[in-house]
Structure 1
Amino acid sequence: MFILTMRVRDYECDIQGVVNNSVYQNYLEHSRHEFLLANKINFAEITARGINLVVTRAELDYKASLKPQDDFYITVECVRESRLKFAFIQHIYRSADDKLVMQAKVIGTGVNAKGRPEIPPELEQVFLPQEARA
């Protein structure tokens, strides 16, 4: 499981003094990109090869709110959803008390230059057991 720690910035909060609901999607996306980099998957290089990794569905369950200066962490796991789809299972927790703030399931695929689904080989490696990875 991949874990990324972050801190809420004041400008991410709305007039109610909590993180705006749309900002959580930025947190989730940033942690997915960091997960890919940690697994030696360069999003920009894959895109340059003509394969676009795209989100096809996002399920977000808001459980609590973060406030300015809250430290938090995001867990990321990537699982096979089907032959051509994968899912990121993500959770956001407030660090001070490990309270669950959000749980999310973000489903994606790769689309090649011909508009056909294609999962790049380096992403395929993530689904293999650790001992079988190249």
Structure 2
Amino acid sequence: MSASLSFACLPNTIPTTPSFSNPNNPRPKSPAISRARFQLNNAQLSAAIHPVQEPRADRWLHEVELSVRDYEIDQFGVVNNAVYANYCQHARHELMKACSSSDPNEIAGSGYSLATTELSIKFIAPLRGGDRFLVKNKIAEWSKTRLFIQQSIVNLPNKEPILEAKATIVWLDKNYRPMRIPPQMLAEITELCYPTSGHSN
């Protein structure tokens, strides 16, 4: 079984718009205009990208072991395709906890957000009820505003490939606008990807 899925994800919390009942307030923005706030401008898109280029660049940085739950099974007896995005998101959050001093909950508590702007999934084989599996993560590239994370799910104990995924993560400020990733986090990512090379941005 082979298929692909590509879609964009935005944070769950969207700023509220002014009310029509107050004539002094401007007209609320349309959903299309609101979504445009999440798009990177040309300067941000052209920010230098740092691919991981070192002898162990193909190594997986972090792994999360999970099990299929009964309610994740569809009428065909396999994990529903939509569930895999949740597996990948959970694993990315665990990766951020492992590789930085601020986990996603702490980031959200400070008023900032981590938004998944792109997610592509290639389905290779299905998972079934009771299966155990690993979600493997690595940071393939990063720029001043974005992280590019590669993920793989393999079945246990045979480690047969289940899917491959790629996600683009953007840091958003308190107004839900893309901003530069804090220097401390970039330094931690660099140390994680180049533990002995002394590479710097």
Structure 2 partner of 1:30:
90
Letter of the structure 1 residue corresponding to residue 133 of structure 2: F
- 2:170–2:178 contact (8 Å) kept in structure 1: no
Runs ≥4 residues deviating over 3 A: none
Question: TM-score, with normalisation over the residues of structure 2?
Answer: 0.61
108-117 or 49-58, larger mean C-alpha shift? 108-117
Gaps of 5+ in 2: 1-60
Q: Which of these residues, 155, 167, 170, is aligned with residue 94 of structure 1?
A: 155
Q: What root-mean-square deviation, in Å, do the aligned CA atoms of Structure 1 and Structure 2 show?
A: 1.8
Structure 1 partner of 2:179:
117
Q: Residue 96 of structure 1: CA displacement? A: 2.7
- The count of corresponding residues between Structure 1 and Structure 2 is 133
Show CA shifts across 1:101-126 (max 9, x none).
01000001101124242213343121
| 1:127 counterpart SS class | helix
Structure 1 partner of 2:127:
66
115-124 or 66-75, larger mean C-alpha shift? 115-124
User: Bigger radius of gyration, 1 or 2?
Assistant: 2
Question: TM-score, with normalisation over the residues of structure 1?
Answer: 0.90
Q: Distance in 1 between matches of 2:140 and 2:72?
A: 30
Structure 2 partner of 1:126:
189
Q: Which has the higher strand share?
A: 1
Q: Which residues of 2 match residues 74-93 of structure 1 at below 5 A?
A: 74-93=135-154
Q: Distance in 2 between matches of 1:122 and 1:68?
A: 41
Q: Distance in 2 between matches of 1:103 and 1:72?
A: 13
1:103 equivalenced with 2:168 (yes/no)? no
- 1:52–1:110 contact (8 Å) kept in structure 2: yes
Q: Distance in 2 between matches of 1:38 and 1:78?
A: 12
Q: Distance in 1 between matches of 2:140 and 2:179?
A: 17
Show CA shifts across 1:24-64 (max 9, x none).
01100111111111223321221222221101100110000
Q: Distance in 2 between matches of 1:13 and 1:49?
A: 36
Q: Distance in 1 between matches of 2:185 and 2:148?
A: 12
Structure 2 partner of 1:53:
114
- 1:79–1:127 contact (8 Å) kept in structure 2: no
Letter of the structure 2 residue corresponding to residue 127 of structure 1: T
